[in-house]
Structure 1
Amino acid sequence: MWSNLPSDLLANILSYLPPHSLARAMAACRRWHDCGRSTAGDKSHHTPWFIALPTRSSKFCFVHNPIESTWHLLNLDHVPSLTRPMSTIGRHGLILFKSTGGVPLRLSVCNPFTGQFHHLPPLRKPRTNPAVGVIEGSPSRARPGFQLYVAGGMSEAASGGAASYEPTLEVFDSKSNKWTVIGSMPVEFAVRLTVWTPNESVYSNGVLYWMTSARAYSIMGFEIGSNKWKELSVPMGDTLEFAALVTWGGKLTVVGGVRGGNVVVWELGEGGKWVTVDRMSTELGNRSVSTKCVGIEGCVCLYKESGSGMMVWRRDEDHKNKWVWNSIEGCNRVNGKRVENYPIRGLFLHPNLTISTFDQEPRLINYKQLSASE
């Protein structure tokens, strides 16, 4: 029966396989290999994987398979030195890297599963330490698309002068592979985005949001359609131990840790009012003892910087309208070997084994690495 299936139907079936199973299937024969290579459709039906990138090195990363509850080690030797992870383009299976060392920002993308790495073109306005936001389009079989927004940052110093804050915003479109300056922004917002904003962003209902890292926490938003900026308060923003932005059912959501070990989840409701949608028990909160949080649509993770343990909040498989917290063992044991206290940066993405259109000379996918059991 399998040999008689049309190639497009076989490719669609293979697209539902998790990466470790797809890797095994692609090793069966050349036809299955070619069909597996073409599975570039929407990966939203896959459970996102947690990626733990050691902050002291960019030469490897740990990935957690939530289906089999196993950890794997992926080699990132192809990632140049003087680069650091910023965030993910999650539905496309890409990690977004930035240059370091005080030079003007240069962004790159990497697929940790296929070994592809690609530098994006230089910005139109050279700048350092801006806020970067990601807007993802639905991946298509022909050309997956996404946009990157860069706002604020320090501009290059003119000869004999001092550097200043760059009050402009520009956007990169992956389909055209070009940056475009789309307008100016208030200098006050440029300063805050440069000094107080981490790299993670959230896109919801036409607005790109960033969370400031200075207490009291606040949220800065850019309305894509009108090119207008706005500011939102954060519930209990002056008392939270940590706060992070995620999306939950497409809505802007804040996950925050309060004193005493509680973790609360708020959703932005009608009229800009915050509504409590979930609360982690004090017992679980004390176990997480975390100031690190990362999320993707459908999943939120609280983790320790050392990577020794984490709490994951995701939809219950048996009750689709119910979300539950679960504890998973951290990335301190891979292939039977114990990894001691690596500080990590946690990210989520949907694994993708598709060859990117960015890469003119794609590397060979290490299928054995993905299919190896713990």
Structure 2
Amino acid sequence: MQNFTFHNPTRILFGKGRIADIAREIPAGARVLITYGGGSVVSTGTLDEVTAALQGFTLFEFAGIEPNPTYETLMQAVDLARREKIDFLLAVGGGSVIDGTKFIAAAIPFVGDPWDILARRARVKSAIAFGSVLTLPATGSEMNSGAVVTRRAGNDKLAFLNPLLFPRFSVLDPSKTFTLPPRQVANGVVDAFVHIAEQYLTYPVDARVQDRFAEGLLLTLIEEGPRALHEPADYDVRANLMWTATLALNGLIGAGVPQDWATHMLGHELTALHGLDHAQTLAVVLPAMLQVRRAEKRQKLLQYAERVWGLRAGDDDMRIDQAIAHTRSFFESLQVPTRLSAYGIGVEAIPALLAQLERHGMVALGEHQNVDLAQSRQVYELAV
């Protein structure tokens, strides 16, 4: 196991009715900007529940943060926050709303062009404090300090990470997920699954705790993901799913182990150019990525085959084939396609995707930084 430092200051308020507790988590007298996306938090009554819990605070609202939050929209929120002297942000929604709120928090006090935070990795020296009320388990953004933002002008989808951008607290009420459409539930399962895979399917470093932890989370998703679709009002199923998605990317399973993230980088370009949901891109790219890079991931793929899928018979190559096939079948069982052709995307789209990777400096990806454009081409071609 490699040396590591682990720090996560986010306070989790888990369980039904925990929105009622948020007032004590926010400084008295704060001017609070509530950020959210579409109308679901309004129609389900979640927004009313939040505002009722914050009686006595000066509240403002900003709606319209997209499923892939755009810089253009987020800068409108930044302008509002600066104008109204906001000193606390509260994201109410899924990972995209929380990601967008992280950017808003960093951009409000930033001196210069806030796009530099993403495009030039400009240093974030301060950020407005924020919390979150999670309504869609998927990204883990409710308990980490990373975010992804898209700029429509240029089709740029870029990630950033900063220790100042951990939520102060996050409310995880599983009952808030009961009304999610099946597509969003399935996407959340896939998103969490691939987050775990990117930290687990690399190469062995004798990190037994992280390996067993990751395997347990994957098994939970395999068990509970289909149940969440078939039993949408089962609180315990949704609770296990929500907590798994949070633990998938809060830093614990990635502490002291190599990490990949090439699947995410190739997926980002598919979203930017073709508008696929983030999880849809991951379901398409991961099986192809594992196949193309099976030699360097061989030992962990065999461990994955045995411990996660129970594949013990046959020679090693057969078991790796079966493990990748099981992964693909699991995504498909959730009604998330694993081929670009299912979205009407063919090989003719690949040159533009590679050009985007090159423009964004994504030319040495993966745990060994050896996934170059030639290998990315192989992955895209196999994904068609």
Query: Comparing both structures, which one devotes a greater share of its residues to helix?
Result: 2
- Give TM-score, length-normalised by structure 1: 0.30
- Give TM-score, length-normalised by structure 2: 0.29
